[in-house]
Amino acid sequence: MPRPHPGTLIRATLRMAAGVFVAFIIFAPLSSLVIWSFTRKWFWPHPFPQELGLFYWRKVLEGDLFRALQSGFFIAVIVTVLTLLLTIPLAYLLARYPVPFKAAILLVFLLPHAFPQLPVFVNATTLLYRAHLAASVSGVVLIHMVGALVYAVWTMTAVFRSIPASLEEAAWNLGASRVKAFFTVAMPLATPGLIASTLLVFLYSFDEFTGTLLVGSPFVLTLPVYMYRTSVGYELQVASIAALILMVPGLLLLVVLERYLKSEYLSMFGRI
């Protein structure tokens, strides 16, 4: 049996070492969260917890966590629906028609992410307080839309740009109106991109923390804010459980997003 070439062994060893290193970087913080979530007592200088159990899991499940989870899910759904209703017509116009100052319009939606979010949200919070929308679900929805619009506008514009305009022109030639061609040709073809945009907006809203804390406190409680409050109170076990629960929908939706975010959509980002 021929012996493997030394260079092959070295490359295989390096790949294995790189894989172990990447796995450590990814899973080491997660393992810390899992350990803390089952820890009841862990004091310095002990390297391992002195007492494990489900005490803090029961405390979390009997507390405000589900209220925060329900509130965050409800807000994310509203933000997603309103954002897409506003951006789908705009994205179609930007993709199909020679709109004046198109680049400037797209840049306006990008600005909230082009600067540090804290000053952007502080300024928006001031306006919401003047409009008496602070400390309410309506105010939180609006502050979330400030950041969510960029995902929907840029993604849906790229999606519509990736659909050949000749397909709609063929429908017009067969007697379909522009509105009918939009709903019977463009929208069905844009469905995968619409799903991807929906997931991006939902994940952004569900995980958003800064704007929710500034605008919604103390009456609007979402899971990121709940996790922050427990961390500030140095309830590491409760914060770890909240972090683990917060990751679950994000991981599941990202798996779905990978299926629907097609490469042709990404290639269009440089052309819109």
Which has the closest alpha carbon to 197: 116, 92, 123?
Answer: 92
Segment 63-85 shows an average pLDDT of 91
Share of the chain above pLDDT 70, in %: 91
Position 271 scores a pLDDT of: 54
Looking at the predicted structure, is the pLDDT value of residue 2 above 60? no
Residue 150 CB-half CA count within 13 A: 13
pLDDT band at 76 (very low <50, low <70, confident <90, very high): very high
User: Each residue of 147-183: pLDDT tens digit?
Assistant: 898 889 888 888 898 888 888 888 888 888 888 888 8
User: Each residue of 11-70: pLDDT tens digit?
Assistant: 777 788 877 777 777 777 777 778 888 888 877 777 777 778 888 888 887 777 888 889
Looking at the predicted structure, is the pLDDT value of residue 3 above 70? no
User: Each residue of 229-252: pLDDT tens digit?
Assistant: 887 777 788 888 888 888 888 778
Report the C-alpha gap between 152 and 202 in whole angstroms.
10
Q: Does domain 59-267 have CATH number 1.10.3720.10?
A: yes
pTM of the full structure: 0.79
Position 72 scores a pLDDT of: 92
Mean pLDDT of the chain: 82
Position 4 scores a pLDDT of: 57
Report the C-alpha gap between 258 and 254 in whole angstroms.
6
Residues 6+ apart with CB under 8 A from 242: 60, 65, 68, 223, 226, 227, 230
Report the C-alpha gap between 95 and 145 in whole angstroms.
21
Looking at the predicted structure, is the pLDDT value of residue 82 above 90? yes
Beta strands in 21-60 (DSSP E): 39-41, 51-52
The residue type at 165: A
Percentages helix, strand, coil for the chain (3-state, rounded to 5) are: 75, 0, 20
Position 81 scores a pLDDT of: 96
The residue type at 7: G
Q: Cβ–Cβ contacts within 10 Å for residue 266, how many? A: 12
Report the C-alpha gap between 222 and 266 in whole angstroms.
31
Report the C-alpha gap between 95 and 77 in whole angstroms.
26
Longest dimension (CA), the chain: 80
Task: Identify the three-state secondary structure at position 39.
Answer: strand
Domain locations along the chain? 6-56, 59-267
